[in-house]
Amino acid sequence: MNKLTNRMFLGAALGVAMTLGLQAKYPEIGQPAPDFTLTDVNGKNHKLSDYRGKLVVLEWVNPECPVVLNHYNSGNLPALQKRYIGQGVVWLAINSGHAGAQGDFAPARIKEWLQDKGAAHTAYFRDQDGRIGRLYGATNTPGMYVVAKDGLLAYAGAIDSIPGGDPADIAKATNYVGAALTNLMAGKAVATSMTRQYGCNVKYGR
């Protein structure tokens, strides 16, 4: 494949990816967040509706995605998790990669990764059949959702306002998740309730 053909192929692939991203549909903001039950890497079952009365963050994650790693290695995501979990927020991490996909770590390796990164999730799940990811229209990692105390979906989209997760940009970006949680804790409407996710594509199986 020559250089021109290669550039044309990459351009076409990017165009398809962007089109798919634009077509992806999140659940409707202001409507009940789709309920689900998943078993975490410690073998404990969690049902989303059991957390009614608490703010809940759903974080789509891939431990080998460079964009995810930027947000962890910089300390951004661990700090955000610790800050809001300390205020009573439930933080659930979900990996919807199929079995054997990039970042589909076995539980023991996941636990090592979480400890190494200083992560503070309430629970971490493997959604290998992609059922929950598709239910939420998750397209990229990190993909973020905030569920209000009444169980209604309050935010869906990117973690912040500067795509790419470059550590140099993180401090300058508007953190949509933190802003949504702050709004909800103050009894206010979420100022920005929907954005487009960025990062690595979720590694769904067929």
With 50 as the cut, is the pLDDT of residue 5 above it? no
- Mean pLDDT confidence for 137-148: 98
Res 19: pLDDT: 31
Domains of the chain, start order:
3-201 (3.40.30.10)
HEC readout, 106-152: CHHHHHHHHHHHCCCCCEEEECCCCHHHHHHCCCEECEEEEECCCCE
With 70 as the cut, is the pLDDT of residue 11 above it? no
CB 184 within 8 A of CB 190: yes
Res 181: pLDDT: 98
- Mean pLDDT confidence for 1-6: 35
Higher pLDDT pick, 92 / 11: 92
Res 24: pLDDT: 53
Alpha helices in the chain (DSSP H): 3-23, 66-73, 76-85, 107-117, 131-136, 167-170, 176-185
Q: CA quadruple 123, 132, 104, 45: dihedral positive or negative? A: positive
**In the chain, % of residues over pLDDT 70:** 88
Query: pTM of this prediction?
Result: 0.88
How high is the mean pLDDT of the chain?
89
Q: Report pLDDT digits (tens) over 91-131.
A: 999 999 999 999 999 999 999 999 999 999 999 999 999 99
Structure confidence at residue 165 as a pLDDT band (50, 70, 90): confident
Structure confidence at residue 206 as a pLDDT band (50, 70, 90): confident
Q: Report pLDDT digits (tens) over 15-35.
A: 333 333 433 589 999 999 999
What tokens were used for 83?
């800050």
CB 121 within 8 A of CB 32: no
CA distance 117 to 78: 7
CA distance 185 to 179: 10
Output the CA–CA distances (angstroms, integers) from residue 89 to 55, 85, 112, in the order listed: 5, 5, 23
Res 82: pLDDT: 98
- Mean pLDDT confidence for 63-74: 97
Res 164: pLDDT: 85
The Cα angle at residue 148 between residues 133 and 51, in degrees rounded to 5: 75
